Amino acid sequence: MTRFFAILSSLLLLTGAVFAGFGYLATFEPTDTVIQFMAFRIGYTVVGLSCLVGVGLVIANAFWK
């Protein structure tokens, strides 16, 4: 993997992590259905952490090669 593709994929994954962060914060708005928004919180957390782990793996892989 060239460094260009590592930078490009890292930026795309960071964009996904930022989107998940904003989505997570948006689930704290007052609403009547707390259970539904708890599922969204869990989903946004999983997506955000997955993107951050992916960024770490891409960067580590780019520097090891």
Please enumerate in sequence order all residues whose Cβ is within 8 A of that of 37, keeping only pairs 6 or more positions apart, or say none.
27, 31
Question: Whole domain around residue 55: which residue ranges?
Answer: 3-64
Please give the pLDDT value at position 29.
83
Please give the pLDDT value at position 19.
97
Q: What is the pTM of this model?
A: 0.84
Task: Count up the domains in the chain and report the number.
Answer: 1
CA 17 from chain center: how many Å? Answer: 3
- Report CA-CA distances (Å) from 23 to 7, 16, 36, 50: 24, 10, 14, 15
Instruction: List per-residue pLDDT tens for the chain, 65 residues long.
Output: 588 888 899 999 999 999 999 999 998 888 788 788 888 999 999 999 999 999 999 989 988 87
